[in-house]
Chain A
Amino acid sequence: MNILEEDGRGLLLGNEAIVRGLIEAGVKFASTYPGTPSSEIGNLLEELSGEIGMYFEFSSNEKIAVEVSAAAAAAGVRSFAFMKHVGLNVAADPLMTLAYSGVIGGMLVLTADDPSVHSSQNEQDNRYFSTLSLLPMIEPSTPAEAKDMIKYAYWVSEKLGLPLIYRTTTRVNHARSIVEYGPITDTPAKGHFRKDDKRFVNIPAYAKQNRVRLLELNREAQELSETSPLNYVEGGGDIGVITSGVSYTYIKEYTSGASILKLGFTNPLPEKKIADFLKDKRYVIIAEELEPFLEDQVLRICAQNGLTVPVYGKRSGHLPREWEYSPDTMRRLNSLLTVRDMPEPLPSVAAKLPGRPATLCAGCPHRGMFAAAKKAAGKRDIIYCSDIGCYTLGIQPPFGTADFIICMGGGAGAAGGFDEATDQKAIAFIGDSTFFHSGVGPLTSALFNSHKITMVILDNRTTAMTGHQPNPGTGRDFGNISTEPIDIETMVKGVGIKFVRTVNPYDVRETENTMKDALDFDGVSVIISKCPCPLELKKRKVLKIRECTVNQDKCIRCHRCVKTIACPALVKKGDTVATDPTQCIGCGMCANVCPKNAIEVKE
């Protein structure tokens, strides 16, 4: 399967289908900060952008991703900024005023929402960003639609001169369906920015007028929505369903007996079309995941048009607001619709099953750093502020090194607050990519305000959790552009931090000593725990695998290795600990903490 082929079809992941859609629409500029469930788009563009003549970058954060793509679109180049839902919070600042400026070339801002919080910290419904910013929004229901709607979305964006919000969810990004390839078009890769202060410089006098212009464009957008081929009615009858996104697929396959108004262009809503649809209905069901975004607007449309048709959904208690929908959710509608017979599930098994949460990998350097921090902390009262990344998994035993997590860079900011508001010591763990994303601000702020915090930068030389994307600390080498890594130690010293040490977390004992010094330091201290992610090395086929073995004659069964490192490659059966050769990479962390040197590392 090659998504660059002229024609044909493929069984594509939603994120692959989106890349195909970009190619068909001739998009020449893309930017992102990686985040699940949107990450595979970036991984593919990293691989293909050079070949398809597209400029692509991993920006340091989502705000920058929107800004660089905004500039491209202002210069007339079709651009695409994409991110996970919470990333749009970071990018909300440029987005809100970009709506006032508008664009010349088409621009889509993709937000990948995560109902059921599969790999996020919240379940926010980003459709509200479209009504907040007054930007048009399009919502595909399947991978095939996610590809097909992109070309149309660029047409809308250019017709209105506005960026457009392209909203997906996990079950679109990470679903697969058969995608038919369409013709590939070409657009210019380079544009030219023409000075137009009234649009692009939103000083109050201009912003005031642009606000009026935006409201006018919003009315125009509504006309487009009224006649959009993305908003259509299927079937007839006096029972109606209004639906969008993946919910449409559950309605379509698991229920029958209703006329369906399927919405793909969901901001502004096609109000006349909705009012017409409602007129001859006995009742209407609104099927959408998360918040009653469509439902509340439908209720308003009813009120404005003097319609008294009952509207069932979340407000009526028929459908839940929390978590993603599934075919099983349709059972809740069986008093209103014909719901397909679903076989009775087997009961749970009687056996007691061990849990299997996601866990830090065998040989993960974070294990060493966490073990050292815990040991160095001893009996001190510590607040472990953590952040968004693999190291969030430090919440698990035996570490417990995640007491407070809110958002990207949030741990570093919060640590300063805890330092001032309590007599406890605050440690902020932050990954290398997250440090560049939003860790520099809180670090300088801590120095500026004299917060006596310890920041531990877990520099595993990659953006690991989202699938190993490069970041400013690694440099880039794709799309015919190579850059040098930015050295974190030089940078941190450069801002004036007096205590900066780089440690090898595989040397747990030495790391513990350094950590003690950092905690004792009277000021901001920074430890850089520098060790590449073994999974990333494995992927690049450069991991030098060694092997640890437990010498059972020397082992005193103290289990310190298991208790402090808890590596999945250490297997404890009864009283005996052995290594699992299929998992062990020979990092030697366990050997380092062994009091009797009973664990041998072999080359």
Chain B
Amino acid sequence: MKYTVQIVGVGGQGVLLASMVLGTAAMRSGYKVAMSEVHGMAQRGGSVISTLRFGDDIISPLESAGGADLIIGFEPVETCRNIQLGNKDTFVLMNLDPVYPSMVAAGFEEYPDIQELVESVRSLTENLMTLDATKTAISAGKAVAANAVMIGAAAAVKAFPLKKELLKEVMLEVVPEKSKDLNSKAFEMGYDIAS
């Protein structure tokens, strides 16, 4: 068995934290794990990709283009930018809440229409689920829990090899004590949306 998750988003969105939660859960499930992360300059508001691979015989920290089983897109433009990481069978989880690049914020470039982005992904694959993770997190209590919404949603993805309860347990170990209830709630909301 081999399973690859590509988590894509923007520096500061919690991509690394999410990949660490999934990776730790994979390790505790008895799989071998190899991951690759982006640190340094790119984190200053740039695009980030975190690759997580687990299974019986895993050693490479990178996956081939098209080799992902699951793409977790924390940001719509980044999901589109990295869609080649998947193939026709890849499941794509796409958060619809945008983070505007600096050139967009300054009015030098346009941010595309979100619905147009969704359609451009849907024209390539039917295995797409969209969600408003930030809005969901706000309804759970706070925008910062968007991360937990995405992890909860991943747990509900068809044939995802890691168990929901284990993912939740690992996630709650890494979040601050005072926000455990918030993250727990956000996780369950994400799970329900994607179920």
Contacts and interface: CB of A to CB of B under 8 A. Distances in A.
Tell whether A pairs with B. Answer: yes
Interface of A: 1, 9, 11, 13, 36-37, 39-40, 118-119, 141-142, 171, 174-178, 246, 249-250, 252-254, 326-328, 342-361, 390, 393, 397-398, 465-467, 559, 562, 566, 568-573, 580, 582
Q: 6 closest Cβ contacts across the A-B interface?
A: A345-B66, A572-B107, A36-B40, A175-B61, A343-B87, A119-B40
Nearest to A172: B61
7 contacts: A11-B33, A327-B62, A342-B67, A351-B112, A354-B103, A356-B77, A572-B107
Nearest to B28: A11
Given A177-B33, A350-B123, A570 B106 contact: yes
Q: Classify chain B: how many residues form its interface, as a range.
A: 35 or more
Given A174-B38, A176-B37, A353-B77, A572 B105 contact: yes
A194 B77 CA distance: 63
A349 B60 contact: no
A348 B41 CA distance: 26
Contacts of B86: 345-346
Interface stretch (B19-27, B149-157, B159-167, B186-194): B19-27
A141 B83 CA distance: 28
Nearest to A392: B41
B35 A326 contact: no
B62 A358 contact: no
Contacts of B120: 349-351
A567 B60 CA distance: 39
A253 B59 contact: yes
B33 A465 contact: no
A324 to B, nearest CB: 9
B136 interface: no
B129 interface: no
A360 B27 CA distance: 36
B41 A119 contact: yes
A344 B41 contact: no
Interface class of chain A by DSSP: loop
Contacts of B81: 349, 353, 356
A562 B107 contact: yes
B40 A466 contact: yes
B106 A354 contact: no
B89 interface: yes
Q: Which of B10, B38, B61 has the most CB of A within 10 A?
A: B61
Contacts of A571: 100, 105
Given A175-B34, A570-B106, A346 B90 contact: yes
Contact of A572 (B58, B65, B106, B125): B106
B46 to A, nearest CB: 4
B59 A249 contact: yes
A65 B104 CA distance: 42
Contact of B102 (A253, A359, A467): A359
A178 B27 contact: yes
Interface string B23-59: 1100100001111111111111111000000000111
Contact of B64 (A177, A327, A355): A327
B101 to A, nearest CB: 4
Contacts of B62: 171, 250, 326-327
Nearest to A352: B112
Given A171-B62, A358-B44, A176 B35 contact: yes
A118 B60 contact: no
B121 interface: yes
Contacts of B125: 346
Contacts of B88: 343-344, 346
Given A118-B41, A345-B85, A253 B58 contact: yes
A177 B83 contact: no
A252 B59 CA distance: 8
Contacts of B47: 356
Nearest to A253: B60
A371 to B, nearest CB: 13
Contacts of B123: 350
B63 interface: yes
Contacts of A250: 60, 62
A568 B99 CA distance: 10
B117 interface: yes
